[in-house]
Amino acid sequence: MTLRDYQLTLRDVANEQPEYLETVFSLGNGHFGVRANDPISGNPITGTLINGFYETAPITYGEAGVGYAQKHQTILNLPDLRHVHVSTSSGHQFTHSKRTAASLDLGTGLLTEDYQISTDQGETIMMGVKSVIGQGQTSLWGVGYTFTAKTYAKGLLVSKSIAVPAEAEAIPSADPRKTRMAGLPICETEFVTQDLQRYHVKTRVTKQAVTMYLGILESHGQLLQQPVDLSDDQPHTLEYEAYIGEVGQRNTIDPAAMFMASSLGALAEDSQNFWQGVWTRSEVSVGGNDALDLAIHYNIFQLNQAAGRDGRTNIAAKGLSGSGYEGHYFWDTEMYMLPYFTYTNQQMARQLLLYRYQTLPKARERARTLGVDQGALFAWRTINGEEASAYFPAGTAQYHIDADIAYAVGKYFEITRDLDFVIQCGFEMVLETARFWENFGSWRQIGDRSRFEFHTVTGPDEYTALVNNNYYTNRLAKHNFELVVELAHQMMKRSPQLLAKFGMTENDLDVYQNLADHVYLPYSNELGINEQDDSFLDKPRWPADKSTKDNFPLLLHYHPLTIYRYQVSKQADTLLADYLFPEDLPLDQLKREYQYYEGVTTHDSSLSRSIFSILAARMGDPEKAYRYFMDTAQMDLVNLQKNTADGLHLANLGGSWLALVAGFSGFYVQDEVVHFANHLPTELDRLTYRMKIAESVLEIDLTADKLDVTVISGPIPTYGVSVNGELISLVKVS
Amino acid sequence: MTLRDYQLTLRDVANEQPEYLETVFSLGNGHFGVRANDPISGNPITGTLINGFYETAPITYGEAGVGYAQKHQTILNLPDLRHVHVSTSSGHQFTHSKRTAASLDLGTGLLTEDYQISTDQGETIMMGVKSVIGQGQTSLWGVGYTFTAKTYAKGLLVSKSIAVPAEAEAIPSADPRKTRMAGLPICETEFVTQDLQRYHVKTRVTKQAVTMYLGILESHGQLLQQPVDLSDDQPHTLEYEAYIGEVGQRNTIDPAAMFMASSLGALAEDSQNFWQGVWTRSEVSVGGNDALDLAIHYNIFQLNQAAGRDGRTNIAAKGLSGSGYEGHYFWDTEMYMLPYFTYTNQQMARQLLLYRYQTLPKARERARTLGVDQGALFAWRTINGEEASAYFPAGTAQYHIDADIAYAVGKYFEITRDLDFVIQCGFEMVLETARFWENFGSWRQIGDRSRFEFHTVTGPDEYTALVNNNYYTNRLAKHNFELVVELAHQMMKRSPQLLAKFGMTENDLDVYQNLADHVYLPYSNELGINEQDDSFLDKPRWPADKSTKDNFPLLLHYHPLTIYRYQVSKQADTLLADYLFPEDLPLDQLKREYQYYEGVTTHDSSLSRSIFSILAARMGDPEKAYRYFMDTAQMDLVNLQKNTADGLHLANLGGSWLALVAGFSGFYVQDEVVHFANHLPTELDRLTYRMKIAESVLEIDLTADKLDVTVISGPIPTYGVSVNGELISLVKVS
């Protein structure tokens, strides 16, 4: 494997929006994230995010109702670890700063930056910053500052500590807009030794606690206690390491001893080992467009940085790169990000599903609150498993999250055959979601036909709310029923007694099969396409005079009532179901549907374009697929949605991987056959990537006229492999 | 006219909930209201409500959106004017109190109460309280306290002043649930003379101001300055009067002079004159059930007390009897309360419509905010004309309020032929609402038929939200279009140039007629009934296992999503349209619809039963009509909904009048014919009532086998009068 296009540098960083750079160059390891704040002028009291470390505050409604979500859950902004105080020996503070270079090595995880910093008096020096986050040792982060003379070449003093929010900010505010800040955490900071600071933070309501340490690794010269003279033209370096404990656990390490035993080099090696593993498993290489090649690497890099690895945390919508969406986990994980892990790192996929399993008791409670007497309803947005969506028509009403999670369990099992997981956790989630659908839906008799329907739901398209028989929701619920039956049969192969463990008999399987067979899927005979819902096609199209560029995204310009009364989609909805179930509909229908829904979709959601790309490829229009793909692949790097400052669009990062794999190479799995098809657009010379199916790592290699699949490691697979519709035999290369 | 059953007394008042009594015995005159607080132990800082005197506070949303209502509007709770301090000459305070009798004379407006009051030491005396509110002089309220000995018969001291809220309560609260209290008004109080206190209250945000005075009318004995000796067995009386200025107007009266010139007797006379006029115009008398007769009088009494008379205020959902619903005006006015005024007191009806006209500029703005480029959308709930509904699916989405207001204008004109009002105000409201519908709706082609539809609306039934083609909404919008054409033709009779004043030509009338002709009205061929909306009949019925008594009202026990997904109605919806347009459908269809919708209606709204009563009467089932009527007629007197403490259900009061008039006597007006029909239930011997049509006061008199209509005053009408389907000739009696 050659590491090509793994060095992320941005041109002209000095003129970029600082908040955008902080996001783009953020480092993370699933446990915590460090935004790339300017160490001199950035905000020292915010910059670090710990996955799942959050506070709650009551949700205030203008008009509240029964069963509404009760509490905001907000990931905490913790102090920036990168901040440093630099002054001349005469006491002039270096308070001005310009980032002149920044480079993130996606092969090793090392972030290298240069800053030109100066005092009010115009004294200027250069500061290099190298930082790295532990990937094996996920409690650690290290940084080295190197100072060299520029216009100033005399004595220099450096000091560094964790900033503590001023007490004033911890006082609950009377301004109702600040409600979510009412519960600022209790922070204690102390110097354990002169070289080691402890920072202990406790939340007031959720009663979580985390201990952080910041200590000196090596002290070159007298930068700290006494000024060092820069006139020797030598670099003067100071290295620090931070330790971020686990949430809620008493810290049993001896940090002083640990810091003494550490070095930045050791941490860099830990990081490099991790990334080597990632790229060995999941390298993607795109020929013909180096910038694109780099962008894909970046996206995979950030997916890996964001994902919680401990089975108690998940992937926030913005990862650990920013506090947008309050650090909440959404369906984005299962439908957009999990596939990358399912097909490259099954252990991680399992951990992410375990998180959901841990929230199952709260999902059961939520179903009761929604008046459904059996089964479980997972929270639409959450950290701790409780519903935190304060606008239910586009939140809780998106019941499809239940079927999305079940779908992800099914895909995980399909590729791993991990029956232990199914028995221990997976089946219970699939069964409880199926029970929800069973009790939530209702039978309807039309003439002599019975069908099973779902009323007053919101599908993925948030521009259409509270409708009946959303196609996506119904199709996924149908699959949810089927999956109960399938997994039950798998378990019964191991032991016929296993069903009883879940309070089931074989008769129950007939019930679920019958439900699956009768779920209603709306179809328009007139248009020959699946209908997004019972009434979507009846509504007028979004008016032309409200369609100039400055009207988008619609949600920032129009009242929801205005948007809802038109036939307009924020994102792929019915088409998302078509992507998930490739064998559902013939190509001509897919083409009609694609054309129809493309005409009414604004792509105001970052989850949209990747799906349109995949389906364009499947339809044999790789050039269109390429255009949609290009809007997803570099979305955050070029700040396409203008809000990368709030954090990366993690689902889109996952979507860009899907667009390559499921789109350009036509990947999907069905009935124990792995399918590929060559849809490489002419703009690309080549696409090569790796994935792990069962125990085998495959490499897929596409050029204009061929698609090769080879086994890189592991056994020759027992499952079938189909390329362009024909089964092939795999050989192992070494 | 004999005043029978005009004396409201309640049995066992000492054991009634005090807040319920405060509401039931509240006095009002459209300008302000005085709750019947216990003068000794009641809450002295709340008890007076001024119509349209309100404060705003920002609405906090858990998740906000574009165009959401921005500000709460909350009627202010002002100090109780009834409070009095009584003590023995030795300084023992009378702090214990028991209301032993209360009687409200509906013929004169005089409220008479007896209290037994005592000190901690057990000293007990009796206190009689007589109070009355000015009805011609709407700034005045008067009270007289009379003290007599009981176990205590020695010296007594009395003092009285307007209580001022403690400063602490005026501080904005950090508790988000108290947001609406953040803007407590600025209160100043001073004694102008020893016998006259001034209370000036200014709001912080709305910058409204009101001045109140409280002064002594007559001082018997030395109750105030020196103790009076109760041992003489004589009653000792002290009389006060309060003056409540107009909102926002500088007070130019000399209150001291005014109070000196006043007396409680003069005020009582002013009140009695007013009520005499009311009963002359609108007496209703029910034979065979004295309690019911009294209840009807009470309802009419409270309607008259609540209605703003100045063209700048309206009728709050709770009138001036309590601050429930924040003192907001809803569609309740036009559809439930206005008919009583339209048919008995046209000047008042005109004033209430004028209020809406004054809010038209804000309604135009609101339409723009909702993405509708022409026309006006009246606020769903408001005091100042701005939308104050913080839950749009059951608020702003009830677009039907536009057509409700237009309907009320049409009914007013139909009966008054007041073309001046139409030209000055009425037509503009009807036209602007029609323009809203025109631009809000959309054409849809079904085969070779075109129809005009309205999407994503909520009808009167708040248990079903955001649906397409709500029958009620569409039917009313159709009428709104027709009304533009009809009123335009009326204006053109006076002057063909008048259309141009509204920027219209005769061609525009063709456009509105065409729209009216094509508004889609959903109808189920299968059931032979009008459909509540496009999908209502497709949903499952509310489940039996959630239908035990303690599950109602559903909105207090279930999440809206749970309620919305079932076929369940909070109130009359399609049937309300059927009531409004009696000639729309044949009797057999009405019977089918009634039976169907009765089966899915919970009557959780106080607006429901009166409509079911009217239609039952129309269908020839007066016994059922009577049962529904009995639940409406005494709703507040028997505290049926358990929340009379928050204020009276004004719409229900109006509805009970409608049930008598439109139900038992089959009253409606169509094409210049006034229709009556005898639907008197066997439970009643007789029903007699008065109404004013055009310039004539009619008296309608029903017994089991006859229905007489006579002219009481004014000319013999030129319009047709039909009884039981046959036109009759009227004679004037004197």
- Which of A:643-702 have CB within 8 Å of B? none
Q: Give every strand in the sheet of B155-159, ordered side by side.
A: B85-88, B155-159, B228-229
The number of beta carbons lying within 10 Å of the beta carbon of residue B507 is 7
B65 at interface of A, judged by CB pairs closer than 8 A: yes
For B100-133, give the DSSP string: EEEEEETTT--EEEEEEEEETT--EEEEEEEEEE
Helix axes B650-658, B609-618, angle to 10 degrees: 10
What's the angle, vertex CA B86, arms to CA B84 and CA B88, rounded to 5?
175
Query: Which residues of chain A have a CB within 8 Å of the CB of B456?
Result: 539, 561, 564-565
Tokens of B215: 């002064």
* Number of Cβ pairs < 8 A linking chain A and chain B: 172
- Which of A:167-196 have CB within 8 Å of B? 172-174, 176-177, 179, 182
- Which of B:405-444 have CB within 8 Å of A? 440, 442-444
C-alpha R_g of chain B: 27
Helix axes B471-494, B506-518, angle to 10 degrees: 160
CA dist., res. A683 & res. A685, Å (int):
7
A534 at interface of B, judged by CB pairs closer than 8 A: yes
Query: Which residues of chain A have a CB within 8 Å of the CB of B58?
Result: 176-177
pLDDT for the residue numbered B10: 81
Q: Classify residue A277 by burial, with Cβ atoms within 10 Å: 0-12, 13-18, 19+.
A: middle
Exposure string for B51-81, b = 16+ CB within 10 A, e = fewer: bbbbbbbbbbbbbebebbbebbbbbbbbbbb
pLDDT for the residue numbered A734: 63
Contact check, Cβ <8 Å, A65/B172: no
Looking at per-residue pLDDT, the higher value among B684 and A731 belongs to B684
B70 at interface of A, judged by CB pairs closer than 8 A: no
> Phi, psi (5° rounding) for residue B628?
-65, -40
pLDDT along chain B (734 residues), means of 10: 71 87 97 97 93 94 94 94 95 96 96 97 97 96 94 91 68 39 73 88 92 82 66 84 88 74 90 96 91 94 98 97 95 98 97 98 98 98 97 98 98 97 98 98 95 98 98 98 98 94 95 98 98 97 94 96 98 98 97 98 95 97 96 90 92 96 97 96 96 94 96 92 94 74
Q: Classify residue A591 by burial, with Cβ atoms within 10 Å: 0-12, 13-18, 19+.
A: middle
Q: What proportion of chain A, given as a percentage, has pLDDT over 90?
A: 83
- Asked if pLDDT for residue A505 goes beyond 90, the answer is yes
Comparing CB atoms, the residue among B369, B556, B558 nearest residue A371 is B558
The DSSP secondary-structure symbol of A329 reads: B
For B459-506, give the DSSP string: -S-TTS-SBS--HHHHHHHHHHHHHHHHHHHHHHHH-TTHHHHTT--H
Contact check, Cβ <8 Å, A535/B468: yes
- Asked if pLDDT for residue A361 goes beyond 70, the answer is yes
pLDDT per residue as tens digits for the range A88-147: 999 999 999 999 999 999 999 999 999 999 999 999 999 999 999 999 999 999 999 999
pLDDT for the residue numbered A268: 96
A556 at interface of B, judged by CB pairs closer than 8 A: yes
CA dist., res. B169 & res. B163, Å (int):
13
- Asked if pLDDT for residue A164 goes beyond 90, the answer is no
pLDDT for the residue numbered A171: 43
Determine which of A43-57, A153-167, A590-604, B138-152 has the lowest per-residue pLDDT on average. Answer: A153-167
Residue type present at position B697: V
- Asked if pLDDT for residue A174 goes beyond 70, the answer is no
| A252 close to A219: Cβ distance less than 8 angstroms | no
pLDDT for the residue numbered B220: 52
pLDDT per residue as tens digits for the range A555-574: 999 999 999 999 999 999 99
> Distance from CA of residue A579 to its chain's centroid?
20
Comparing CB atoms, the residue among B63, B534, B561 nearest residue A397 is B561
CA dist., res. B397 & res. A183, Å (int):
35
pLDDT per residue as tens digits for the range A202-247: 998 999 999 999 999 875 545 666 667 777 777 888 999 999 999 9
- Asked if pLDDT for residue A366 goes beyond 70, the answer is yes
CA dist., res. B73 & res. A62, Å (int):
11
Sole residue written with tokens 């209360």:
B102
CA dist., res. A466 & res. A461, Å (int):
11
Which are the contacts of A416, defined by CB distance < 8 A and separation ≥ 6?
A: A346, A349, A350, A694
Q: Which of A59, A60, A61, A63 to mutate to test the interface with B (most CBs of B within 10 A)?
A: A63
Domains, chain A? 7-279 (2.70.98.40), 283-325+620-734 (2.60.420.10)
Contact check, Cβ <8 Å, B557/A66: yes
Largest CA distance in chain B: 93
Q: Is A195 helix (H, G, I), strand (E, B) or coil?
A: coil
Contact check, Cβ <8 Å, A177/B465: no
Comparing CB atoms, the residue among A62, A443, A564 nearest residue B456 is A564
Looking at per-residue pLDDT, the higher value among A495 and B228 belongs to A495
CA dist., res. B366 & res. B396, Å (int):
10
pLDDT per residue as tens digits for the range A653-688: 999 999 999 999 999 999 999 999 999 999 999 999
- Asked if pLDDT for residue A167 goes beyond 70, the answer is no
B526 at interface of A, judged by CB pairs closer than 8 A: no
pLDDT for the residue numbered B175: 38
- Asked if pLDDT for residue A582 goes beyond 70, the answer is yes
CA dist., res. A576 & res. A582, Å (int):
10
CA dist., res. A232 & res. A558, Å (int):
63
pLDDT for the residue numbered B225: 62
A547 at interface of B, judged by CB pairs closer than 8 A: no
Catalytic residues of A: 462
